[in-house]
Amino acid sequence: MPSPHPAAWAGAIEQALKGALILPENRCFTLVRRPEGMPVDADFALVTQDAPELQDGQFLLRNHYASLDPAMRGWMDDKPSYFPPIPLGHPIPASTIGVVAASRNDDFPVGSWVAGFGAIEEYTLHRKGSGRKIDRGLLPVVTNYLSIASGVGPTAYFALLDIGKPLAGETVLVTGAAGAVGSLVGQIAKLKGCRTVGIAGGARKCERLLRDYGYDAAIDYKGKSPEELVAAIREAAPDGVDIQFENVGGAILDAGLMTLNDKARVVLCGLISQYNCDPLPTKNLWQLIVKGARIEGFILTQYISRLGEAVPELTSWVREGKLRIDEHIEEGIENALPAFLKLFEGTNDGKMILKLV
Amino acid sequence: MPSPHPAAWAGAIEQALKGALILPENRCFTLVRRPEGMPVDADFALVTQDAPELQDGQFLLRNHYASLDPAMRGWMDDKPSYFPPIPLGHPIPASTIGVVAASRNDDFPVGSWVAGFGAIEEYTLHRKGSGRKIDRGLLPVVTNYLSIASGVGPTAYFALLDIGKPLAGETVLVTGAAGAVGSLVGQIAKLKGCRTVGIAGGARKCERLLRDYGYDAAIDYKGKSPEELVAAIREAAPDGVDIQFENVGGAILDAGLMTLNDKARVVLCGLISQYNCDPLPTKNLWQLIVKGARIEGFILTQYISRLGEAVPELTSWVREGKLRIDEHIEEGIENALPAFLKLFEGTNDGKMILKLV
């Protein structure tokens, strides 16, 4: 069913709060089967649920945009992770931004823009303590809040600065360098005075690395043997690599390991090459020993209490024109899967966002 | 040729220093071909060289014992590492202890016991600044200096304490737990108040873990599937693993990764399972992300300036009976290769040492 325009029914809801609620129907993109390898249509169902009834302190968010991130693939598996596997039949969790459609919480009045952790669904019920109001004046376009204030921005910020600890003059190698996180990491590393080398797939992305994100060197991994990739990194990073910011894994991680300096830090932020298949062998872990280097995993959930450090600085950088944000917006909840798969095909140009209304 | 007894010719050498030197012949275990996989006889040759002539400040050490360590396998390859590959035709470098046979350095008089980095050869020329005199009164048996004051002791000490940073009450998982480094790590972790879980191959080694090294739990990896190994670690470490001290790599590293706690530290000290073959795929690096954990390589060369922190404390622990050292001594330079291979077969019981005289 077509979703009602939020403004049209928000008032009705507010009225209804006094008596019996007349709540909208809610289309949800749900997981119905655990994917084997690359997710396919039959793993999901678009179902219509009744929107839940509001209790005191709750509000209903009409989701306008949902963030699509590679990490979601992991949530679909039944493996021990940083939060429980998505139960079958449940909507796919996602960071969203939207407009409050109904509210029994005075802090979140109807009509206000809110960012929250919800799901790929038209409406999300937020309980007391959930959601953050968006100050529309701070960022040029509203979707930027998904890039800066949800997962991607703070991930790039803390993973690079807190795990990588870049020093001016060091060389930072970024894999998946044209991706949502990688493009921010390259720019933040430049702001910190580092030399940046980006690896991406294809000439067009490599052009973006140099032109849009200020990378000092760009390497197209496509068509290169492992040895050629190592040689290309060595050429682009003649003083060796001090920080490898890893988003990809497999052969690309392995090539970078061969170029590390003593005491180098590999920030393990993502392993997108292996979310849908068995990982390629990582053969070069021995380089960690001979260089006294380390691989350290980054998970944003361990930084929730420190988000207040990242978001204002990221916001300032965007306002001052120091940080470029590219977003790739696909439309319609019915396109959730093809949009999500573009992340693994590498055919997105910037942070992948699904427009829901 | 049989080597002359050092005492017999040491005096002769000293005499000879005044005139033309009559130097002993020197049998050396040399690398003549780079091994493919497991080293074989044809990769080495036992050659007799003239002992070099002494210059001012130099002394000639009659090597009595040489330390055989898995890391030597890496030095035989032509790969970038923490020092250059052994040139073909050169003796295999090794830590040794022995007695000064001839000297033009007053700090190292003939007859004194000295530890140094030499080679698997009967005599090593030490230049000024090389070698450390051994105080024979400090440790019960002279070979203990190879265990405590050369690579193994400081490796266990710094890798556990400086990289692992154990806190009392934490759980430390040690792989290769009955090995030279592993047996020390387990004991030092207990001294620091940790729960220790050791993984080793075979029931006999597991008995040693519990009886000789004070491990709280021992796991025999042999005959276990990856899933069974993970289950066994979880059972032995019900609160999860805070520090994984890794000496093995491959499937054993991979199993441990599945049991890590948030912010766990994997100390990557060795990868003995892959020194002679392509590594098995490490599939579970993603656990580093979801746990915010890290793998950090340890290389002793980065700790040379701090050896003075480790050796006295290790020595005290041995003297006080708090640290047990087991040594496995094989005899004869002609047995260098079979003795070395025992390290990879896992048939040694303690630190492998080759007795040369």
- pLDDT tens string B97-132: 999 999 999 999 999 999 999 999 999 999 999 999
Q: From CA B37, how far away is CA A325, in angstroms rounded?
A: 49
pTM (two decimals): 0.89
Report which of A42, A10, A34, A35 is spatially closest to residue A24, judged by C-alpha positions.
A10
pLDDT at A20: 37
Pick from A268, A279, A286: which is nearest to B281 by CB?
Answer: A279
% of chain A at pLDDT higher than 90? 83
Is A81 in CB contact (< 8 Å) with chain B? Answer: yes
Are A294 and B291 a contacting pair at CB < 8 A?
no
Q: What is the mean pLDDT of chain B?
A: 91
Tell me which chain B residues have a C-beta less than 8 angstroms from the C-beta of A293: 296-297
Q: Give B272 to chain A, closest Cα distance, Å.
A: 10
Q: DSSP readout, B198-253?
A: EEESSHHHHHHHHHHS--SEEEE-TT--HHHHHHHHHHH-TT-EEEEEESS-HHHH
Q: Give A172 to chain B, closest Cα distance, Å.
A: 18
% of chain B at pLDDT higher than 70? 94
pLDDT per position as a tens digit, B141-199: 999 999 998 889 999 999 999 999 999 999 999 999 999 999 999 999 999 999 999 99
Tell me which chain B residues have a C-beta less than 8 angstroms from the C-beta of A288: 268, 295-297
Tell me which chain B residues have a C-beta less than 8 angstroms from the C-beta of A278: 281, 283
Tell me which chain B residues have a C-beta less than 8 angstroms from the C-beta of A81: 290
Report which of A114, A112, A134, A136 is spatially closest to residue A126, judged by C-alpha positions.
A114
Are B294 and A298 a contacting pair at CB < 8 A?
no
pLDDT at A280: 75
In SS3 terms, chain A reads as CCCCCHHHHHHHHHHHCCCCCCCCEEEEEEECCCCCCCCCHHHEEEEEEECCCCCCCCEEEEEEEEECCCHHHHHCCCCCCCCCCCCCCCECEEEEEEEEEEECCCCCCCCCEEEEEEECECEEEECCCCCEECCCCCCCCCCHHHHHCCCHHHHHHHHHHHHHCCCCCCEEEEECCCCHHHHHHHHHHHHCCCEEEEEECCHHHHHHHHHHCCCCEEEECCCCCHHHHHHHHHHHCCCCEEEEEECCCHHHHHHHHCCEEEEEEEEECCCHHHCCCCCCCCCCCHHHHHHCCEEEECCHHHHHHHHHHHHHHHHHHHHCCCCCCCEEEEECHHHHHHHHHHHHHCCCCCEEEEECC
pLDDT at A276: 86
State the average pLDDT over residues A1-22.
39
Are B281 and A280 a contacting pair at CB < 8 A?
yes
**Over 70: is that where the pLDDT of B212 sits?**
yes
Q: Give B293 to chain A, closest Cα distance, Å.
A: 5
**Over 50: is that where the pLDDT of B4 sits?**
no
pLDDT at A212: 98
Are B279 and A283 a contacting pair at CB < 8 A?
yes
Give chain B's domains with CATH numbers. 6-134+326-355 (3.90.180.10), 152-301 (3.40.50.720)
Is B289 in CB contact (< 8 Å) with chain A? Answer: yes
pLDDT at B3: 37
- ipTM here: 0.87
Q: Give B270 to chain A, closest Cα distance, Å.
A: 7
**Over 70: is that where the pLDDT of B37 sits?**
yes
pLDDT per position as a tens digit, A235-265: 999 999 999 999 999 999 999 999 999 999 9
Task: Round the CA-based radius of gyration of chain A to a whole number and report it.
Answer: 21
Are A292 and B299 a contacting pair at CB < 8 A?
yes
Contact B184, B153 (CB under 8 A): yes
**Over 90: is that where the pLDDT of A153 sits?**
yes
- Position A23 confidence tier, pLDDT thresholds 50, 70, 90: low
Total residues found in chain A within this entry:
357
Six-digit token string for B247:
């000496």
pLDDT at B17: 40
Q: From CA B306, how far away is CA B336, in angstroms rounded?
A: 31
Is B270 in CB contact (< 8 Å) with chain A? Answer: yes
**Best of B163, B285, B302 to mutate (most A CBs within 10 Å, chain A):** B285
The segment with the largest mean pLDDT, out of A148-152, B80-84, B292-296, is B292-296
Bridge-based pairing state of the strands B123-126 and B59-67: antiparallel
- Position A283 confidence tier, pLDDT thresholds 50, 70, 90: confident
pLDDT at B312: 94
- Position B16 confidence tier, pLDDT thresholds 50, 70, 90: very low
Pick from B269, B289, B295: which is nearest to A294 by CB?
Answer: B295
Q: Give A230 to chain B, closest Cα distance, Å.
A: 12
State the average pLDDT over residues A67-74.
95
pLDDT at A356: 97
Tell me which chain A residues have a C-beta less than 8 angstroms from the C-beta of B265: none
pLDDT at A281: 74
